[in-house]
Structure 1
Amino acid sequence: MQTLYALLVAPFVEYAFMQKALFGSLLLSAGACPVGVFLMLRRMSLSGDAMAHAILPGAAAGFLFYGLEILPMTVGGLIAGIVVALGAGAVSRFTVQREDASMAAFYLISLALGVLLVSVRGSSVDLMHVLFGTVLALNNEALGLIGAIAAVTLASLFVFWRALVAECLDPLFLRSVSRLGSPVHFIFLGLVVINLVGGFQALGTLLSVGLMILPAAAARFWTARVETMCVAAVAIGFASCVAGLLLSYHAALPSGPAIILSAGAVYLVSVLAGTRGALRARLVTHRHRTA
């Protein structure tokens, strides 16, 4: 019993930085994982990855002028994310290029520009901080920001739930029967951007999308209902955060990658053993053939 306590509970009881890391990552999961479900259902998972890199030049500009201050980097990242989202959308709408190609182009430009801006003033340590985050160094200001983002996200999902689900299933039908068609699309993109900005504080620009997409992708192998999928994604996100932080503490590993790898492990298990996973599908097929 004491061994289990030392392994699973003691790190969060004895160290304040572990408590803040756990609280911040759980708040991040509560907001980002449901958004990841809708990203996945819209087949925009890779767009979310591109948007995560798109916030880098704005965050880097804030770092260039104010150093590792949360508010300037957050505002900069938010502005950059919105500019890239609108720019990619405009290119796809007014030219022959599709949105995935324009998003990829903007993401590559943003990533290179952001790395360049950080390198102008900072060191390799600062660059690693921006790219991969420092979840174990979250302070009260960062926790407040992540908590506010989670609250806004959950409130928005509650208000626009039916419209968001309808747009995932049939966006043309939604636009034909409701005026919410176009607005809800931009509201959703805004939720993606602010959750990536919140994730940037803990996991950096390269890994912030991982906690958004991996739990959502894993949840899809367990249920087909959107509501249940969102709940399952949040639960998987919570478990991944706890497991990743404990793995980071006991094995002296970087905390951000440990959290994302924990979510990746759940995803791989879900692919094989989920109620809608590969093994169940093969078992059902085998039963039909032998029946």
Structure 2
Amino acid sequence: MATVIESAWAAWLAATGLEFDFMRQAALGCVLLALGAAPVGVFLMLRRMSLMGDAMSHAILPGAAVGYLLAGLSLPAMTLGGVVGGVLVAAGAAAVARHTVLREDAALAAFYLVSLALGVTLVSMRGSAVDLLHVLFGSVLALDEPVLLLLAAVALLSWGGLLLLWRPLVMECVDPAFLRGISRWGGVAHHGFLALVVVNLVAAFHALGTLMAVGVMVLPAAAARFWARRLRPLLAVAVLGAMALSLLGLWLSYLADWPTSPTIVLMLGGWYALSMLLGPFGWWRQQHVPQRHLKG
């Protein structure tokens, strides 16, 4: 019996690629990314800031590129540069929105377009095409222990920050004007949440690259919206969906020899499409299942 179990286990490891260290590290990285980014993505969606997440994912590129120019593909330098770049762009967009006629979303759009172009230019000045692809699309299959420790630390920071800011964040999702009127925690919650978005995008950048990092944050949260209405179930569905579909994308990319980061995001996009069509609050049910009405 033991021999049969061992043979089945070995066959499963061979079929999934988990017999190799790099695949096990990549799978762990996917789980840690899902734990950190997906819950932040839920609040990003509820605050109607999903497109802002995309803008911020590009905003970190110039800072990471400066770190790359100074120290090469150094984890501390690129992480610090990405965080500083993201914070500066967020602060700059907020300042433009506060002192000009532009709204914050338009200011962010301008900043992220310039940031993307500047970051690509800076990386190209010193690096090769391989380095540029590494920055833009990540290297999930090359995650090492320092990057995994960073992902774990960011996941813990995300959950700790969300628990600390839970009440003002929930209230801001429902009625931000009311929160500003009764509490000074509104500004703290807003800026603290933006900091969580930036650090998660920087962490995801090391695995998925700047062009794909926001996918693991936004797509699972958007898909979860078709399966749950209450906040805690939303968080659970988003995290579990992000884990499962990221691992599925990793496995499929290994079998088909496809680029890993785009494959993971495509799997997350497929889950979003399936949820939109067949989820309890999706299109098919809304169109074909009679809605219950209160009886007088």
Q: Is the shorter-chain TM-score for this pair beyond 0.5, marking a shared fold?
A: yes
Aligned equivalents of 1:272 and 1:3: distance in 2? 36
Aligned equivalents of 2:210 and 2:13: distance in 1? 29
Q: How many residues align?
A: 288
Contact kept? 2:61, 2:115, Cα under 8 Å: yes
Aligned equivalents of 2:160 and 2:74: distance in 1? 27
Q: What is aligned with 2:182?
A: 177
Q: CA deviation at 1:37?
A: 0.7
Q: Output the aligned Cα RMSD.
A: 1.8
Superposed CA offset, 1:140-179 (max 9, x none): 0101111111101011111211211111111111122222
From 15, 19, 22, the counterpart of 2:20: 15
Aligned residue identity for 1:118: V
Contact kept? 2:60, 2:82, Cα under 8 Å: yes
Alignment of 1:207-226 (within 5 A): 207-226=212-231
Contact kept? 1:33, 1:237, Cα under 8 Å: yes
Q: What is aligned with 2:58?
A: 53
Task: Tell me if 1:235 matches 2:240.
Answer: yes
Contact kept? 1:244, 1:262, Cα under 8 Å: yes
Q: What is aligned with 2:167?
A: 162
Contact kept? 1:28, 1:150, Cα under 8 Å: yes
Aligned residue identity for 1:134: S
Unmatched 5+ stretches in structure 2:
none
Aligned equivalents of 2:11 and 2:213: distance in 1? 29
Contact kept? 2:17, 2:254, Cα under 8 Å: no
1:239 counterpart SS class: helix
Alignment of 1:1-291 (within 5 A): 6=11, 10-285=15-290
Aligned residue identity for 1:33: A
Q: TM-score, normalised by structure 2?
A: 0.93
Contact kept? 2:137, 2:208, Cα under 8 Å: yes
Aligned equivalents of 1:53 and 1:199: distance in 2? 12
Going from structure 1 to structure 2, the CA distance change for 1:279 and 1:8 (only over 3 Å counts) comes to farther
Aligned equivalents of 1:202 and 1:30: distance in 2? 14
Aligned equivalents of 2:246 and 2:207: distance in 1? 11
Query: Which 10-residue stretch deviates more, 175-184 or 84-93?
Result: 175-184
Aligned equivalents of 1:145 and 1:4: distance in 2? 30
Superposed CA offset, 1:173-232 (max 9, x none): 112222211110000000000000000010000000000000000000011111110110
Contact kept? 1:8, 1:246, Cα under 8 Å: no
Q: TM-score, normalised by structure 1?
A: 0.95
Q: CA deviation at 1:88?
A: 0.3
Going from structure 1 to structure 2, the CA distance change for 1:286 and 1:176 (only over 3 Å counts) comes to closer
Aligned equivalents of 2:248 and 2:14: distance in 1? 11
Unmatched 5+ stretches in structure 1:
none
Aligned equivalents of 1:239 and 1:117: distance in 2? 35
Going from structure 1 to structure 2, the CA distance change for 1:287 and 1:174 (only over 3 Å counts) comes to closer
Q: CA deviation at 1:9?
A: 6.7
Aligned residue identity for 2:273: L
Aligned equivalents of 1:163 and 1:137: distance in 2? 39
Q: CA deviation at 1:284?
A: 2.7
Aligned residue identity for 1:256: S
2:101 counterpart SS class: coil
